[in-house]
């Protein structure tokens, strides 16, 4: 291996290590260590296959709003139904939490929402912000408002902007 190639490999390796270190440092700075475990439970429920697991992380009268598709669900049964509907439309639904910040009884979660709309040519992965209002004890979610770009989901999926799951 030439000294020029060796230098190039060293620079690339150092850049990768520094990039990984910077990413880890950024995540550590932007994740509040006091963030309650409910955020992990919420993500695991989205990533799991039992729709009732999502309903279970909410208070009995909890409210879930998906701002991108303008729907709101009230109570554990409706919220579980929304997860079941999402699973019927999207293969491999996944939420990857990037950061979470606790401020009083509110957690703001920055995440990546991904999956593959059934019948779409390609999968999607879009940034998402979820605002979770917690109960007094931070054990359950009282309100969840998810924000992401439906237009970006459809574009990444290779679907037209007017795509409707009912027509699929």
Residues 68 and 135 in one domain: yes
pLDDT digits (tens), the chain, 168 positions: 444 443 333 333 333 333 333 333 333 333 445 567 999 999 999 999 999 999 999 999 999 999 999 999 999 999 999 999 999 999 999 999 999 999 999 999 999 999 999 999 999 999 999 999 999 988 999 999 999 999 999 999 999 998 887 655
Total number of domains constituting the chain? 2
SS3 label, residue 118: coil
- Both structure tokens of 141: 């979610």
Asked whether residue 165 is assigned to any structural domain, the reply reads: no
Asked whether residue 145 is assigned to any structural domain, the reply reads: yes
Asked whether residue 166 is assigned to any structural domain, the reply reads: no
Asked whether residue 167 is assigned to any structural domain, the reply reads: no
pTM: 0.78
Residues 45 and 99 in one domain: yes
Residues 17 and 59 in one domain: no
Q: What is the CATH classification number for the domain harbouring 83?
A: 3.10.450.50
CA 3 remoteness from chain centre: 45
Helix, strand counts (H, E) of the chain: 5, 6
- Residue 55 dihedral angles phi and psi, to the nearest 5°: -60, -35
Tokens 């669900």 correspond to what residue?
73
């Amino acid at each position: 291996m030439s000294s020029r190639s060796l230098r190039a490999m060293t620079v690339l390796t150092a850049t990768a290590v520094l990039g990984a270190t910077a990413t880890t440092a950024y995540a550590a700075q932007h994740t509040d260590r006091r963030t309650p475990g409910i955020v992990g439970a919420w993500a695991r429920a989205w990533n799991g296959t039992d729709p009732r697991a999502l309903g279970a992380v909410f208070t009995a009268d909890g409210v879930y709003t998906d701002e991108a598709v303008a729907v709101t669900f009230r109570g554990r049964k409706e919220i579980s139904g929304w997860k079941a509907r999402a699973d019927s439309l999207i293969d491999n639904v996944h939420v990857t939490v990037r950061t979470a910040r606790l401020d009083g009884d509110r957690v703001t979660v920055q995440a990546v929402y991904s999956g593959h709309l059934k019948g779409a040519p390609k999968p999607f992965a879009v940034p998402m912000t979820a605002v979770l209002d917690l109960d007094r004890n931070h054990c359950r979610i009282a309100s969840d408002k998810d924000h992401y770009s439906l237009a970006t989901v459809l574009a990444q999926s290779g679907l037209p902007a007017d795509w409707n799951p009912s027509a699929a």
